[in-house]
Copies of this chain bind each other. A is one copy, B any other.
Amino acid sequence: MADDRPIRRTLRIAEVAKLAGVSTATVSRALTDPGKLRPKTLALVEEAVRRTGYTPNLAARSLRARRSMVVLVVVPDIGNPFFADVLRGVEEALSAAGYGLLIGNLGPGAHKPAQVLDIVQAGQVDGVLLLNGNVPRDAERSLDRMDVPLVAICEAIPGVTFPQVEVQNREAARQAAELLIGLGHRRVAYLSGPAGNILEAERFGGFCEGLAAAGIAGPVARYRGDFTFAAGGAAAEEFLRAAERPTAVFAANDEMAIGFLKTVRAAGIAVPEALSIVGFDGIAFADYVEPMLTTFRQPRRALGNEGARLLVEAMGGHPSTARVRMPVELLVRASTGPLLG
């Protein structure tokens, strides 16, 4: 077996120093703080670096400088297009600031959060960005106590001190209720996200408030879901079985709204004539279902950007406890209409 893999010829700083005729300290300074050097010396080093193609070993740098220029992005599911978009914003802001991003996918496994904590504790990352925490509450608390800068995006976690960036879930959900009521609906249903999810709670709460303001006790049905297409379909089955069906549904996210929409239409329900549907998130596909989905557009990329920006500031020694609440935009489209009959 040919085991003669080429030995990695790692170029060390010492060789660059020798070529430039200076000390390693000078090379290091040229790379991390050029202002400290006389222009002439700097030029010497730069020329040597250019000629050798030298790149500093990041592990060594992290070890000594105690910073890795990497942030851990904890995401419940990379495959989800919503988070994918947020990630885009995060990546943009972080890479502009010179940080790399290490992905920590939580997935379904229960052991994962511990892994994530380990990475943090191992001093491998300079900061952590939580995207909508499936992170168990006590883990969040530990993170908060750990001294690594932390920012949460898309979730308002009570009782912690790190900055959070979220959207106006409650206000938007109330607005959804108002929209439906304005169209004459009174028998409305709610299609919820996973129990315990804070966004879900906010949206449900806001929706109920909106209904209450119009003298409606609450939704006539609350379907249990988990933010997936399939959950939307399952909820629709339940809807179809009901003796007296609601005339409108507000779903806690677009995927479920779309799953619901497809199933009820397949069963011959006319949308919006017989049933109005409102989603949440404003994912790209909401524009391509038929009828086009009425929904709330979240500034996904901006959320990611803003969160990353706050984190970069915090890592730079300017921590804040800001709770940024970004606006969402109601997009009234063809899946909602006046109550007929």
On A, residues with C-beta under 8 Å from B are 3, 5-6, 8, 10, 53, 55-60, 62-63, 66, 68, 70, 77-81, 84-85, 87-88, 91-92, 95, 100-105, 107, 115, 118-119, 121-124, 147, 229, 258-259, 261-262, 265, 284-285, 287-290, 301, 317, 319
Contact = CB atoms under 8 A, between A and B. Distances in A.
Chain A facing B: main interface SS: mixed
12 contacts: A5-B147, A5-B319, A8-B123, A55-B121, A60-B63, A62-B62, A63-B63, A79-B85, A81-B81, A88-B105, A289-B289, A290-B290
A303 to B, nearest CB: 13
Contact of A229 (B8, B80, B123, B288): B288
Most buried by B among A57, A68, A301: A57
B102 A102 contact: yes
B229 A284 contact: yes
Contact of A119 (B66, B100, B258, B262): B100
Nearest to A301: B79
Contact of A290 (B8, B53, B104, B289): B289
Contacts of A119: 58, 100
A319 to B, nearest CB: 8
Contacts of A317: 3, 5
Nearest to A228: B284
Contacts of A115: 95
Contacts of A92: 107
Contacts of A62: 59, 62
Contacts of A288: 229, 258-259, 261-262, 285, 289
Contact of A77 (B3, B63, B80, B88): B88
A105 B85 CA distance: 13
A81 B284 CA distance: 10
A102 B70 CA distance: 9
